[in-house]
Amino acid sequence: MSPNAKKNTIYSLVLLGLVLIVYLYRNVTGNPSSSEDIARQKGLITWNGEFMDQAYLFLFYPEKPNLKDKLDSLLTYQEQLYLMESPRSELYQLNRQDSLPQPSKELLSLLKLATQDASSSENTWDPSSGILYQGWTFSSSLAAIKDSANIPALLENVGMNKFILSDTIIQKSKSESKVDFSDYGKAIALTQVVRLLEKEGVQNYFLQLGRHTVAKGVNERKELWKHKTQYPDSLGKAQEGLIALQTKAVATAGNFTQSYPQDSIRKAWVLDPRTGYPLSHGLLQTTVFANDPKAAAILSESLLVRGWQEAIRIDSARKDVEMVLVYYKKGKGLTTYSSPELKSFLSFPIQ
């Protein structure tokens, strides 16, 4: 896992914890008995667990018979597809070998899907780009190439086109090429959970797994579900805010508190998978709302690479997504942008 991915994981865990704390706090303050009665009457179900070493929180109602067993079975199956540290895993073997004979249909489908998604993003999202972070170190003061690191040589291993697929064998054109589906797999798994709930007739749910969230309907209070996020105040300090979710998936990439100064702006601890070098613009954090978790996950990372100007252009051109951006602009400092149609769902002001 790349350093940036690890930081995003930590950031996601913090947000997940905050969501749970806020939810529990809301139900033990104010009018506790009334809150508990509403939750009990509506049959609100709360499930906590781990998926690929990442905590999840699932809230939904009403309860359905045998749904817990079906969910556990689904998550167990999904987890096996994306594991990379077990020698029995196909991804483990693929990342350590020049070829993988007799691959499963599931792995082939996954690689084909990832290749299509990388191409659609114009390679601004690429699950094989983690190797690039071996050549860099980031701090609050700078981004520096590590001693003896050869960035062009590392870049030669990046690209889903390095994996040549057939029904009988997967071959790599570069032996050092590796894929990391830990984040990608979480988004896909969350989509599968949504399909299961929909099949079971559950129409009101809030699902959070790492940096990925999806919600539909309303909570037990007949209010839209709330997603917790961080935003900068007028002094640039991190504050907590809420975003109401109206049948949307949401994912956040980057962290505006993790940056370094260069060229009169602040830049993110993120590399461009197309060049192997740090981003040249000031976009630090993207929160993207889309129709499904995978779309939100990929676009949030893709926009972080493309930059805030391109992100705003895409926001104006597409009606199927909304976004909140935090970026550093020359002469203005830390700036927050929100899609116009999203502003009424935010609990915090846009500076």
Q: Where are the domains of the chain?
A: 84-181
Which pLDDT value is given to residue 31? Answer: 41
Here the tokens at position 120 are 């659609």
Which amino acid, 246? Answer: Q
Query: Tokens 């129409």 identify what position?
Result: 203
User: Which of 18-22, 49-53, 155-159, 268-272 shows the lowest mean pLDDT across its residues?
Assistant: 18-22
Query: Residue 48 burial by CB count (10 A; 0-12/13-18/19+): exposed, middle or buried?
Result: exposed
Half-sphere CA count of 276, side-chain side, radius 13 A: 18
- Which numeric CATH code is attached to 84-181? 1.10.3980.10
d(CA 96, CA 105): 20
Residue 7 has pLDDT above 70, yes or no: no
CA distances from 259 to 105, 139, 272, 300, 303 (A): 41, 7, 15, 17, 17
pLDDT in tens, 148-206: 999 999 999 999 999 999 999 999 999 999 999 999 999 999 999 999 999 999 999 99
Q: How many CB atoms lie within 10 A of CB 279?
A: 20
Here the tokens at position 65 are 């018979």
d(CA 175, CA 94): 10
Contact 53, 182 (CB under 8 A): no
Proportion of the chain above pLDDT 70, given as a percent: 88
User: Which of 40-49, 156-165, 202-211 shows the lowest mean pLDDT across its residues?
Assistant: 40-49
User: Which of 10-24, 39-53, 324-338 shows the lowest mean pLDDT across its residues?
Assistant: 10-24
